[in-house]
Amino acid sequence: MAYTINFLSASAFGAPIQITGTGNVGSNAIHTGIAGTTQMDEVFLYANSTGSQFYPLVLQVAGTGAAYDLKMTIAPQDSPQLILPGWPINSSLVIKAYSPSGSGMFLIGGYIQRGP
């Protein structure tokens, strides 16, 4: 079986997703993995900041809370940066994102490769 390339589940036709959430409760959904365990979604995410200074960004992979947080800082007004390089998920696990600063200055885009 070959891999197929698909949009992120929270993205309308591949459009970037604006991150407006400020914490666990208000985090923005990015992608929900394929149901079941016979296939995988390899998730590739890119982020950029439209702000004028460095702001923190948190990805939550498969859960909420510190154990699931991937914390990073994105350079302001720069080209999109690879922030998740083909992370495999399935079983309807969810990837979310938020900015603790509440800046609303992040856009996340990307795609998935679905396959065996």
pLDDT in tens, 1-33: 699 999 999 999 999 999 998 888 789 999 999
pTM here is 0.92
Phi/psi at 30 (5° precision): -110, -50
Rounded CA separation 12/48 (Å): 18
Residue ranges of domains in the chain, CATH in brackets: 4-115 (2.60.120)
pLDDT level of residue 100 (50, 70, 90 thresholds)? confident
Task: Please answer whether residues 97 and 28 qualify as being in contact, where contact means their C-beta atoms are separated by less than 8 angstroms.
Answer: yes
Rounded CA separation 4/115 (Å): 6
What pLDDT does residue 111 have? 98
The stretch 40-68 carries a mean pLDDT of 90
Instruction: Kindly tell me the number of DSSP H helices and DSSP E strands found in the chain.
Output: 0, 9
- Measured between its terminal Cα atoms, the distance across the chain in Å is 6
